[in-house]
Amino acid sequence: MKTIDLRSLSADELHAWALQQDATDPLRKFRSQFLIPERNGTPLTYFCGNSLGLQPKTARTAVEQELTTWQQHGVEGWFEGEEPWLGYHRYCQQTLGQVVGALTEEVCPMNHLTVNLHLMLVSFYQPTPQRYKILTIAGDFPSDQYALETHLKFRGYDPSGALIEVAPRSGEYTIRLEDLLHAIETHANDLALVCMSGLNYYTGQVFDMKTITEKAHSLGINVGFDLAHAAGNIPVQLHDWGVDFAVWCSYKYLNSGPGGVSGVFVHQKHHSSNLVRLAGWWGYEENRRFEMTKGFVPMEGAAGWQLSTPNILALAVHRASLAIFEEATMPLIRQKSEALTGLLAEIIRRLKESGAKIEVMTPTEPSQRGSQLSLLVEGKGKVAFDYLVENGVIGDWREPNCIRLTPAPLYNTFEEVWRTGEILRAVI
């Protein structure tokens, strides 16, 4: 996609540019691989992949394949058939590693996001009388807040003093990197862990995970990230950055179905360590699992944090979606993402220039945002949101006055972004 200054284009030229981008889009074939929701036979403009991604057409076939295995083999499906279930997580690991920048053995699809976060906190939050505090960002996703609060309480600490929350400066929507680094430095003698989102669900801000990790590690502090809104959205390099652990869900940008299987990353450097962990039999060394003996012996790598028998049907959908990512590749997905949100940002800028009372909470710098713009419409945010829905644009409303619009590169088009801008113009 050729870089061009969109500000230099007239309205007609901007629309023509959008159409040209669709015509030459290297990812355009993937839209036809998803089931686009419709209303009265007309496809909707679905800008809500940050909440629930769309269904790949291959998902149904993938599930039916495992249903057939169940039908034909029963319990022996764990060991028989073309693809036995016993090692099903391995069918996803390689591509999952490519999506989050990890070695194959450093990732594993399993459980649900908050379950995995709790498991990682057991292993990586190891407080001492001197270093027991956790640093995070203010207003992070509620599940993360609750998980951190309860782990502190479980250890006997009062979250009001033991949880350090870094907030935006007065009058700003996003958190400055220098404030995060300063907070880590200031509390270094007390901190046991830095644990935060890699991409903020509300503002769409991408945090500099590499620099945050380097800073924390230089002070002897473990670092973990929740990548619920980052996995499949932005390129990350968890292994190269040295991140200790990460967790994510698969039902947003990874398009793996409502309540889809989560995933974990545990850096290779921790695989041979004697980390404390909560164990379950599915994390036991696979070749000896059915010996049913006492004494936990973990599988190698992130798979050793598995707990219970996996949900094969959910994994089948996840695998089908990951196949699309393997073909599309994260670099091309990111390139189109920046172009889509860049077009939407330019449309919003022009609306503001014409007098519309609308603000963008998301950073203006493309490298600091994902496929999302969070909009504040003064005085009539809910009216504007409802008007978008009435006109076939499905976004996301967050109290008290935020509209989140997320054009996903795999199934959204530039023409859809343009058309959404015209609908906003009509209501605002």
The DSSP line for 357-415 is: -EEE-S-SSGGGB-S-EEEEETTTHHHHHHHHHHTTEE-EEETTTEEEEB--TTT--HH
Fold topology of 6-35+330-427: Aspartate Aminotransferase, domain 1 (3.90.1150)
Alpha-carbon distance 360 to 172, whole Å?
11
Which pTM was predicted? Answer: 0.96
Looking at 6-126, list the stretches that DSSP marks H as alpha helix, in order from N- to C-terminal side.
11-24, 58-73, 90-100, 113-124
User: What pLDDT, on the 0 to 100 scale, is given for residue 309?
Assistant: 95
User: What pLDDT, on the 0 to 100 scale, is given for residue 135?
Assistant: 98
In the chain, what are the domain boundaries?
Answer: 6-35+330-427, 63-328
Q: What is the pLDDT of residues 206-226, one digit of tens each?
A: 999 999 999 999 999 999 999
Alpha-carbon distance 301 to 187, whole Å?
31
pLDDT of 161 above 80: yes
Alpha-carbon distance 342 to 102, whole Å?
28
pLDDT of 29 above 90: yes
pLDDT of 3 above 90: no
Q: What is the pLDDT of residues 311-323, one digit of tens each?
A: 999 999 999 999 9
The DSSP code for 222 is: E
Cα 179 to its chain centre, rounded Å, is 23
User: What pLDDT, on the 0 to 100 scale, is given for residue 2?
Assistant: 59
User: What pLDDT, on the 0 to 100 scale, is given for residue 378?
Assistant: 85
pLDDT > 70: percent of the chain: 100
Average pLDDT of the residues in 268-278: 92
State the chain's mean pLDDT as an integer: 96
CATH, range 63-328: 3.40.640.10
Q: What is the pLDDT of residues 70-102, one digit of tens each?
A: 999 999 999 998 899 999 999 999 999 999 999
CB neighbour list of residue 365: distance below 8 Å, 6 or more residues apart: none
pLDDT of 334 above 90: yes
pLDDT of 401 above 90: no
